[in-house]
Amino acid sequence: MNNPRFLVPFIVIAFIVIYVLATSTKTIDSGQAGVLYRKFAGGVDTTETFSEGFHIIAPWNTMFIYEVRQQEIFEQMSVLSSNGLDIKLDASLWFQPKYNYLALLHKEKGGNYIERIIMPAVRSATRSVVGRYTPEQIYSSKRDVIQEEIFQETKRIVDDQYLQVNSVLVRDVTLPTTIKEAIERKLRQEQESLEYEFRLEKATKEAERQEIESEGKATANRILSQSLTDKILREKGIMATLKLAESPNAKVVVIGSGDGGLPIILNGN
């Protein structure tokens, strides 16, 4: 056994065993899935998606591992608005492969499906959607609408490509400086106009309120004047005189009578 010639076969056999074991086992981590390529049995096995865990395969076959959890890509794009102005837009896309179609994705699209399908799809969708709006709409009121439309358009493009689009987020929109300043000036002017209209409407309503209040007081005074006859006035005068006469602090002298028969009251204090 000390002769090296006898050790060579054992070394070769041990190497072959180690190689076979190493190439015949595959561990798929969490959040991943596998596609098996059978070298002598028809190529890609489209009947099964291999799940997480430990798998034994023939050493001449190959297991391709894919991330099947939600993934995110960022895109910075330069697109044109409806009036031909250049808009810079930053967006991110959340997506993942369709688990049950992973083998078909591998066979028909390949492992670089992000560069071949996802990125061209989101760029195409963004150009199509942004081209429907003016810079003012993109900058102010329509961002949420645009974001949803880009999502729906991207989803439509990749839906039959064995991929699932979960969401599109428009993170930033950059307009040319002159356009941005013009839009901001216009928005300020619109805000000032709305504020002026509000003040004008408030003043008009206040004037209407005062006019109604004045009319109400005038009507009440007319009714009161019509109800105050000579007899009522004499009665109220007599009652006031009696109250003053009953007061311990008052010194009152009644002399004759006033016009209409009312007493004339002099305060002695």
DSSP string, 119-133: HHHHHHHHHHHHTTS
DSSP string, 98-164: -GGGHHHHHHHT-TTHIIIIIHHHHHHHHHHHHTTS-HHHHHTT-HHHHHHHHHHHHHHHHTTTTEE
Q: What is the pTM of this model?
A: 0.60
Residues 6+ away with beta carbon under 8 Å from 229: none
Domains of the chain from N-terminus onward:
4-67 (no CATH), 71-180 (3.30.479.30)
* pLDDT tens by residue, the chain, 269 residues: 455 666 666 666 766 666 666 667 788 999 999 999 998 888 999 999 999 988 888 888 889 999 999 999 998 888 888 888 888 888 999 999 999 999 999 999 999 999 999 999 999 999 999 888 887 787 766 778 889 999 999 999 998 999 999 999 988 888 766 665 666 677 666 666 777 677 777 777 877 777 787 777 777 767 766 665 666 666 666 676 666 666 666 555 554 455 555 555 555 55
State the helix-helix crossing angle for 119-130 and 143-158, rounded to 10 degrees: 140
